[in-house]
Structures are given as C-alpha cells and as structure tokens.
Structure 1
C-alpha cells in the first residue's frame, strides 16, 4: 500500500474533532497536559510470536487534551469527553524489535467524575513507526513487524486524583496494538498490555461546562437511510511474494438512527481479492478447473457517533464463497467520517477470526 494512505486513519479522527475544537477555542476550552511512564509485556497471541514475548518493553508518553465544553450537541450526550493527541515511545529491550514511535489521536470519556477525581476510558488510533523490522536476510526472526509504518489502536482505563488544585496523579491500565493490516507479511502484529504512571496538569479543575442544558435530539433520530460505497485495499500474499495485490468491494447498506449515539446497520457486499487468484494458480495442476475467488456476504453492524465521526463495528457471513480460503465469517473495525451530509469515507480493518485480512479505504454516498 502506498505510504501516504496509512496516515488517513488518524487523520479521520482528527477531522472529526476539527469543528468542535474550533468552537471550543471561542469558549476558551481548558487544556490538560500529561506525561506518563509505561511498563508492558508482549502478549503471545499466536505461537509464531512466542519467541519474541520474552522482554518487558518500557515506554514514555506526552499528550495534550482539550476538554469539550458543550459547544457541540454530542459533547453533552457523552458527558463532556476530552479530545487528545499523544506521542508514545517504546523500547522493546530486544534487538529483533528495537524501538517504536507513535502519534495517536483519541477520545477520553469520563466514566465517573468528582471535584478531585476522575475515572476515564480512552480510545484512540494513529500511526506507529518501527525503525527495526522483518528482513529475510538480516532479521528473519521478527515475525511481528514487516513494515516501517503501522496502524496503532489504543484502549485504556485511567484514574486521575488531584495532588493539588491543578496537578493530578494518573494511574492507568491499557492495551496498545500495532499492525499493518496484512499490507506486508509477516504481520502477526504486537499487543502490549500496559501499566501507566504519570502526572496531568489541568488548566481548569474542577471542570465547569459551558452549556449544561440537555442538547436537542438530532433531526435524523428514528429515520432510516441507504449507504452505497466501494473500497480498495492492497495486501501481500506471503513472504516469498513481494507483490501487492488489489482487493475491492462494493457494499449496499440499510441504516437506522436508533438514538443520539448510535446507528444500526445491515448490508450486503461483494469482494474481489486478486491475491486469492494468484494463490490458486500456485497450487493448481495443469488443466484444473479453478473455483471463483469472488465472494459475497451479508453483515450487521453498529456505528458509534461523534458528530461527523463514527466508530464502526461489523460482523459478516459469506453467502457466496466457492474458494474457501478463510473462515465463513468476517469482522470489521474502522472509522467513518462524513465530509458532507451525503459523502463519507472510511478506513476499515477487515479481519478473519482475529487475523487481519486487509485494510479497506472506502468512499461512499448516503441516500
């Protein structure tokens, strides 16, 4: 996949925060500055990475958060979350893995808040860079990372307690994941369960919202709609074949706005993965009648809405699958952003039973 495409995932999250951040500047939305140390271990989620799950990576993070104030309706629906940017460094204490550098954009949702304490849940995504990666000649043991740029996903539970009027002690438990979505192989990815300790500087504490009145319900509440979209992705078939094969899909979806925060979705889609055709040709004998590699499926899904931005989760089942190269079902996680009322874009990770299949770059229209 072309490298510039990998920056689109965090960009969508940042775009989702542009309008609220502009409104917050007018209202002098308060900032939170943080610095944390991290201790982790590598989760051996498959036997292929067992030989690398022996060290204890350590990391350091700097972040900047902006407190939403009620300038947008969705701020009050989510009880005034924070929107943040973070820079994360890890040393894996293993020459096979080296270090990583990441930039993430995230949302931090308050689960419980008092004058002196906060319990927050953080969800973010971004781009990670690994200077040391798989090389068949010089670093063949690195089955985790085969590309310099990787997508990163981050979940975290954070407890912040006031040490003074503006300084807070932060304790956290999290999970960091790095993967290139099978764009290049090997790509088993790396999962880092993490413990955090650090300090937060709060520009305003306790938090005082700009607008505490209930936000009006969205005009789309209770309405149904259609989405039509197409996607493009690229994937490497295996470590001995360096070519990137295109993967396409076409999707038709019916959606319904069930409440302020959620859309429920049901759709049908077709897939054409050219790497499967190359795989068949490698294994077939002369004169064999090759099965069709095209697939068709149906899925149900959910969209968690934050203004123009949505977190997407789908569960699908193949209805037409002559060449059974994978499980009968698939999952999809991603980000969706409405550029206009009608036109949207997605960055999705399609997965088969926990194993990445392809990163899909989607463009669609809402009808």
Structure 2
C-alpha cells in the first residue's frame, strides 16, 4: 500500500495546465517551507454533523526542489517545484478522531507573477497514519474512515510575496482528504478546508527567464498494449434484515482480469484511445444473506460470470510516467437492486520500465466519487509505431 500511494502522488500532481515555457539560469535550487492552518472538518456524514465543534489545526514541513529543465517534461510543465512533506492534524475538541499525520509528495506550480507577488497552486499526495477508524466495540461511530492508514490528498492555491533574497510569505486556501480506497469499510472520507499561512526559505533563489528556444522530442506514436491486473476490496451487506447483524458487516473480495488498449499520441503530452477488458469480480459472483442473525455468502450464478468492459481513455505523459484517465462500461452486466452501476471510472499511474514493459497502479470508482477498489497492473507494449 505504501508503494502505491507514493507512486500515485505523480498521478494526481501532474493533472494541471502547463504554463508558457521558460529556461532557468543558475544552479539547482532547494528550499524548505513551514505552514500552519486553522480550519473545519466538513460535515459530509450524519456523525460529523452531530459534532458541536469541527475545528482543527494542521502543521506542515516541506523539503522542495526546483526543476532545472534537464529533462523534457520539466520544460513542458514550466519547471515546477517538487519534493516531500510532513503534515500533522490536531482535531482539538474531537480527540476521538485520532491524531493522523501524513508523509506525502509535493507538486507546486506558478500560475502568474506580478513583480514580487506570485500566484501558485499545489497538489500533494501521500499516506497518512494514526486515524481512529470506525469501531463499534470501542464506541467510535464516525463512518468517515474504516482504517488507521489512509490516502492523504491535499490541493490548494495561494499568493506568495518575496521578502528579500531568502524568504517568501504565503497565504493559501487548502482542501484535505483522507480515505483508503475501499480496502476497509466504511470509507466515506474525511474532508477539511482551511486557510494556511506559510513561510518558505530559499538558501539561493533560482532566476527564471523566458526563453523561446526550448526544444523537445516531437515524435508521436500509436501503441498497442496488453496487461493483467488484480485488486482487493471490502464489501458490506445492504439487503434486508440488516438490523440483525453488525453495521458494515461483510466480506473481502478479489478482482482480477486482463485488458488491451490502442492509443494514439497527438501531442508531446497527450494521447487518447480505447480499451477492452475481461474482469472476474468475486463480489459480483457472490451474494450475501442473513440467517439466524449471522451473515453468510453463497454463489450467485451456477458458473462464474466474467465482465466485459469497453474503456475510452485519455493519457497524460511525463517522460516515462503516464497518467491514464478513463470511463468504462460493463456491456453485459446483470444488475439487481444492490449491485453497483455498470458504468465505472478509473485513474491510474503507469510507469514504463523499458520501451515495452510497464506497471500501473490505479483506483477503480463508480458514481464519479465512490472508490470501488485499488488495482495493480503489469503489462507489455506489443506495438509502438511512429506516426508519419
């Protein structure tokens, strides 16, 4: 799980618009940043709504590095800052929620600058620890998180003012999110919003000067890829007589399958295409029922049913890292009242170890916001032809 969250940082952090191309004069730069925020936990479920005070404080420390343009993707994405950070929550009057802290990767990009005043945005992604999960025995009823370990996502935007050669003072508006990708139910997510005051220290500033002479590799390719994937999820009983069993009682299920994609590159950053897949989902092939106040499961079909999917996909390319975003449909899925919809969405990070071999990590979701499962993928590029 830790490896997945670390890799997935790049997936979210690169979903941004590139600015006009610049070149950098000077040496590679690093910086450190500290921040403090006071905000509120959003009342996104009935248990959070019952809290009289949802205020919290947060504290961050970040180590940042300035991209120099040594690689093509750094030029394409306007020489961003990237690095690693640490964040700690203090829920003040709601200590029963735990004291989660996060380790995460960082992507910062400048949007606009007016003299010494800069407007930037940031995307952070990592893993958090030490949450208090939903636990009936210990009388912790908050359904926001079902596990001690969760994904940590933070996005925000803000203004920074250059105070001399070494310091920037920043004021940001942040949104934070904790969830586990449905590895453990419940997983409604814990969301918070806050203004943040930050101070950034630069031992040596890097001077950025516009340069229109930057060149990149303009070759474009059509590719044919095959892969196998697997995942795991926690599902709970939603049928009748639920009051006879524990809340969120259910079973763990495995998912695995194979896919083929054809993609056409149309710029140095982007490609689009379509894929087909065959999936075996144990949750779909089993059903749960209650008898004698006990939850059981049984086979839903006499023979296991496979799911056939069609998946239009967009790809964002950053060197050997690809961000894949798709929306698919299970063409022949038989659905009943408590089944998940036949439409699904996915977002994943693919890394090319060689020109042919790749691995991918991603999230499969439905209704555009509910995580279904995390998927791990290994694949091979059978055809890669340059476009004329």
TM-score bracket for the superposition, by shorter chain length: 0.7 to 0.9
User: Contact (CA 8 Å) 1:16, 1:337: kept in 2 or not?
Assistant: no
SS in 1 for 2:208: coil
> Out of 344, 349, 355, which is 2:370 matched to?
355
Alpha-carbon distance, 1:124 to partner: 2.6
Distance in 1, Cα, partners of 2:374 & 2:95: 28
**Structure with greater Cα Rg:** 2
Match of 2:28 in 1: 29
Alpha-carbon distance, 1:53 to partner: 8.6
User: Contact (CA 8 Å) 2:327, 2:343: kept in 1 or not?
Assistant: yes
- CA spacing shift, 1:320–1:234, aligned 2, 3 Å: same
- CA spacing shift, 1:152–1:315, aligned 2, 3 Å: same
Q: Deviations over 1:192-240 (max 9, x none)?
A: 2232111011233353379873132343x2x211121121111112265
After TM superposition, the structure 1 = structure 2 runs for residues 256-295 of structure 1, keeping only pairs within 5 Å, are: 256-280=264-288, 294-295=306-307
Q: What's the TM-score once normalised by structure 2's chain length?
A: 0.81
- CA spacing shift, 1:112–1:247, aligned 2, 3 Å: same
- CA spacing shift, 1:30–1:287, aligned 2, 3 Å: closer
Distance in 1, Cα, partners of 2:111 & 2:207: 14
Match of 2:5 in 1: 9
Residue 231 of structure 1 pairs with residue 239 of structure 2: no
> Out of 297, 309, 322, which is 1:310 matched to?
322
- CA spacing shift, 1:227–1:113, aligned 2, 3 Å: farther
Distance in 1, Cα, partners of 2:323 & 2:81: 16
Residue 189 of structure 1 pairs with residue 197 of structure 2: no
After TM superposition, the structure 1 = structure 2 runs for residues 212-251 of structure 1, keeping only pairs within 5 Å, are: 213-219=213-219, 221=220, 223-238=221-236, 241=249, 243-251=251-259
- CA spacing shift, 1:321–1:160, aligned 2, 3 Å: same
Residue 167 of structure 1 pairs with residue 152 of structure 2: no
Distance in 2, Cα, partners of 1:129 & 1:142: 17
- CA spacing shift, 1:13–1:141, aligned 2, 3 Å: closer
SS in 1 for 2:36: strand
Distance in 1, Cα, partners of 2:300 & 2:177: 42
Match of 1:69 in 2: 68
Alpha-carbon distance, 1:284 to partner: 10
User: Contact (CA 8 Å) 2:45, 2:144: kept in 1 or not?
Assistant: no
- CA spacing shift, 1:76–1:190, aligned 2, 3 Å: same
- CA spacing shift, 1:224–1:122, aligned 2, 3 Å: same
Flag the structure with higher helix content: 1
Q: Deviations over 1:329-348 (max 9, x none)?
A: 11112322222222222221
Distance in 2, Cα, partners of 1:317 & 1:184: 25
Alpha-carbon distance, 1:246 to partner: 0.9
- CA spacing shift, 1:303–1:203, aligned 2, 3 Å: farther
Flag the structure with higher strand content: 2
SS in 2 for 1:275: coil
Match of 1:178 in 2: 178
- CA spacing shift, 1:41–1:292, aligned 2, 3 Å: farther
The Cα RMSD (Å) is 3.0
User: Contact (CA 8 Å) 2:345, 2:366: kept in 1 or not?
Assistant: yes
Alpha-carbon distance, 1:184 to partner: 0.8
Runs of at least 5 residues in structure 2 that lack an aligned partner in the other structure: 14-25, 237-246, 383-388
Match of 2:50 in 1: 51
Q: Deviations over 1:68-113 (max 9, x none)?
A: 0110011111111111211011112313312111011122122123
SS in 1 for 2:79: coil
Distance in 2, Cα, partners of 1:114 & 1:234: 49
**Which stretch of structure 1 is more off in the superposition, 279-288 or 317-326?**
279-288
**Which stretch of structure 1 is more off in the superposition, 57-66 or 134-143?**
134-143
Q: What's the TM-score once normalised by structure 1's chain length?
A: 0.86
Q: Deviations over 1:36-90 (max 9, x none)?
A: 0122322233446533595112100000110001100111111111112110111
User: Contact (CA 8 Å) 2:285, 2:300: kept in 1 or not?
Assistant: no
Alpha-carbon distance, 1:291 to partner: 8.9
User: Contact (CA 8 Å) 1:292, 1:322: kept in 2 or not?
Assistant: no
Residue 341 of structure 1 pairs with residue 355 of structure 2: yes
Q: Deviations over 1:292-328 (max 9, x none)?
A: 6532221222222222223332111221211351123
